[in-house]
Amino acid sequence: MATKKETKKTVKPAQPADGDLTPVEVLDKAESPVVETAPAEIVVEPKKKILFVASEAAPFIATGGLAEVIGSLSKALAREERYDVRVILPLYQDIRKEYRKDFKFIGNIFVPLSWRNQYCGIFEYVKDNVTFYFVDNEYYFKRPGCYGYYDDGERFAFFCRSVMEILSFVGFYPDVLHCHDWQAALAALYLKTIYCFRPEYQFIRAVFTIHNIEYQGKYSLDILEDLFGISYRFQYLVEYDHCINLMKGAIECCERFSTVSPTYAWEIKDPYYAHGLDQIVRRNDFKLCGILNGIDPEYYDPATDPSLFANYSANDMAGKAVCKEELQKMLNLPVKPDTPIIAMISRLVSHKGLDLVREVIEQILRQDVQFVLLGTGDSSYENYFSDLARRYQGKVVSIISFNSDLSRKIYAGADLFLMPSKSEPCGLSQMIASRYGAVAVVRETGGLRDSITPYGAGGNGFTFGNYDAYDMMYVVNEALGVYRVKEEWNALVKRAMETDFTWSKSAKEYERLYLDMLK
């Protein structure tokens, strides 16, 4: 069991023997009065221990950007010798088989939660220097998908309580407990209301990251003790608007909280973006920061991506033309190298700005363009885009599904990538698109504003400010204009592809945040 006390090792510097000294030094040594000074000690700092608590992580299980961030940020931090990074996740039925078969069972415990006492199996798997733990309980997690069950509150309460118990089972007490989104909020709440009174847990600091403030984990106050196992003494921590609000609870009780881009950190203080939590965010502003997500440059690399029809890089673009041609063939679009392809890959929900697209897409389609959409979501949007494709055959293709292989082919084949979100905590698609040479057209919100800079100012894409369909169309047209000037366009594509979207800068910011918390 590692505790705080035993963590610092000191090493005394080697003392040179007299034989190693120069004649002058020997003289100095003989003549100078003997002053007893303690030899300087070189302090070997122990590794900082970081534990991510999250409901999904790539490559094991992914429904969205959260999984990619957990997978790639943990890997980026673990590359630094200074960190022992571990991640804990539920063992869902849908965890990818090719990994699951190698998970190692390391034991089981029983987890107390209110009047329940539930089985919890613990599996371990090490990847890229990161230790992953998986929490097994078939009653809660042997179901298709990750979310959307009537008892999600109970499922993630069990998960979070298990996290706390597993720490003592494996003897790993992190310096920083980093909880992501509402599903992990209870881990921070259990730490601060129950476990911090135990000696091994007392030094653990907690940080909570909001990946999307829309999903807060709201429940009736009646179940606070019975289901979540939190005493009514602590109701004040989680209560908001006459409900339990788990996100609010985590914001209140963590030492720090963060969001996934600097602009979003500032936006969620405003009722327009905060889904009711702006007051809580403003009150806790002193411990808030925004750190822009990155992407894994190895996982998203057009030079090596096996999904692509041909590989290419910013310095050798021949493959991109092949990708475009093959995409057009595959989607039954006329093969026209000079017709720009505008792509959207998105969940089809309202905050993705689909209303703007719906308002002006037919005007945009009057020009020589092709439009490709990939995604699933609200049926009204699914129906609208399917119908659009029927009406504009040979010009519009709508694929109502989620398919990672196809998405890569689209990023590689497209010229423009449209992402006019109403709000976007960070967004990863605009970064992936840029890396694959599809120039992003985005609204200036959240992480879109922090990652895409306007062409007019020498930037890597096209941006518009107001949530307005005609403003969007204006910049789409501006982009189409630049597309026709080949030299300009090629230079812009190169700039987009060469933008640094890796974790290098942001991982350092997380390090700074952790070290600041540990002071």
Q: Are 85 and 78 in contact (CB under 8 A)?
A: yes
The minimum distance between CB 148 and ligand GLC, in angstroms, equals 16
* C-beta of 327 vs 513, nearer to ligand GLC: 513
The minimum distance between CB 399 and ligand GLC, in angstroms, equals 21
Sequential DSSP letters for 298-357: TTS-TTT-TTSSS--BTTBTHHHHHHHHHHHHHTT----TTSPEEEEE--BSGGG-HHHH
Report the amino acid identity of residue 314. A
Query: How far is Cα 70 from Cα 13, in angstroms, rounded to an integer?
Result: 40
* C-beta of 137 vs 421, nearer to ligand GLC: 421
The minimum distance between CB 123 and ligand GLC, in angstroms, equals 25
Q: Which residue is nearest to ligand GLC (CB)?
A: 65
Q: Are 172 and 138 in contact (CB under 8 A)?
A: no
Q: Are 271 and 240 in contact (CB under 8 A)?
A: no
The minimum distance between CB 182 and ligand GLC, in angstroms, equals 12
Query: How far is Cα 276 from Cα 214, in angstroms, rounded to an integer?
Result: 9
Interface residue list for ligand GLC (CB under 6 A): 64-66, 69, 211-212, 260, 293, 424-428, 447
* C-beta of 165 vs 424, nearer to ligand GLC: 424
Tokens of 348: 């089809």
The minimum distance between CB 290 and ligand GLC, in angstroms, equals 11
Tokens of 233: 């003494």
The minimum distance between CB 66 and ligand GLC, in angstroms, equals 5
Residue 204 is classified by DSSP as -
The minimum distance between CB 55 and ligand GLC, in angstroms, equals 12
* C-beta of 64 vs 454, nearer to ligand GLC: 64
* C-beta of 131 vs 259, nearer to ligand GLC: 259
* C-beta of 397 vs 428, nearer to ligand GLC: 428
* C-beta of 71 vs 229, nearer to ligand GLC: 71
Query: How far is Cα 339 from Cα 369, in angstroms, rounded to an integer?
Result: 5
| 75-109 per-residue burial string, b: 16 or more CB within 10 A, e: under 16 | bbbbeeeebbbbbbbbbbebbeeeebeebeeeeee
